[in-house]
Amino acid sequence: MIKILSSFEQVAGRFDPVVLLVSGLVLVALGLLVWLAGMCLRRLVLAVVVGAAGGTAGWLIHGPSPAVAGLAAGGGAVLGAVLPRLSVSVLLAAIGVSIAFVILTQPHGVPERETLFGRPGAEPGDRKLTVPESLDALRTFALDLADGTRSAARGLMLVDAVILAAVGVGLLFMGWLLGRLAAALVFSGSGTALIFTGLAVLLIFKGSAPIALVQKQPAAYGLVFLGMTAFGTLEQFVLCPGPKKKRDAEAGKARPKQGEAEHGWRNR
């Protein structure tokens, strides 16, 4: 995985500046929205996040087909907007399984494999890539990540697969039972990840090497990530009311008190 990320950092430095700047700003802006106000705009944010995940999956599986990617994105957006509690539970389980997968694959080690970026002729010198070439390189990077994940999964033992299944099922039920707390945690963690990714893209745009910096001090950046996630979770859980509380508050404002109603009738 480290080799793939390092290769991507080297190639991304030659992306078209528009691709880096626009994608970095969009990721940071979306990350701030999800990190601070995901609970307040739960259905909208879930529609965007699940729709983007569905569109990306369709793009990776079927290739650059606008129709397939659009259908997958539309289906994901409908799922996120109509079934927010289920979507949050699935996202929480997916995040937990991903973290557990990374931890379990470290002791086994993953054999080094040739990436698509590393093939002869895949890197066109030092020239800047055009926008279509930059987007094609992004898809190549995603395919490399998918292949690396499959290679790592093949090296897992049966006990590792059982642990991953237990983590996924446990977090799925936990997300369903905890409700608002699980949603706040998912939105905060996802928003923090988007902010980190967007800042990394912007740093690459400026000519820096953020992935190499993270490799030198992983503990420091991990603490920053955990701190931002904890702050966002607490802020959203406290400031963003649940659907029932919100309805009760609106009903209380709309319903006049008995004394106020009698006073208003007498003054007519």
CA distances from 196 to 135, 193, 203 (A): 20, 5, 10
- Judge whether 249 and 241 are in contact, CB under 8 Å: yes
The H helix count followed by the E strand count for the chain is: 12, 0
Q: Which of 80, 82, 59, 60 is nearest to 71 (CA)?
A: 59
Task: Look at the block and give the residue holding tokens 């033992």.
Answer: 157
Rounded to the nearest integer, the mean pLDDT of the chain is 78
Q: What is the pLDDT of residues 216-250, one digit of tens each?
A: 888 888 899 999 999 999 988 888 876 655 555 55
Q: What does the domain layout of the chain look like in residue ranges?
A: 2-241
CA distances from 195 to 30, 45, 70, 177 (A): 8, 15, 25, 28
Q: What is the pLDDT of residue 229?
A: 92
Q: What is the DSSP string of 97-135?
A: HHHHHHHHHHHH-------STTSTTSS-TTPPPPHHHHH
Other beta carbons within 10 angstroms of residue 243's beta carbon come to 12
Q: What is the pLDDT of residues 91-113, one digit of tens each?
A: 888 888 888 888 888 755 545 54
Mean pLDDT along residues 73-82 = 85
pTM (predicted TM-score): 0.74
Q: What is the pLDDT of residues 17-47, one digit of tens each?
A: 888 899 999 999 989 988 988 888 888 888 8
Report the alpha-carbon distance of residue 115 to residue 122 in Å, rounded. 10
- Judge whether 65 and 258 are in contact, CB under 8 Å: no
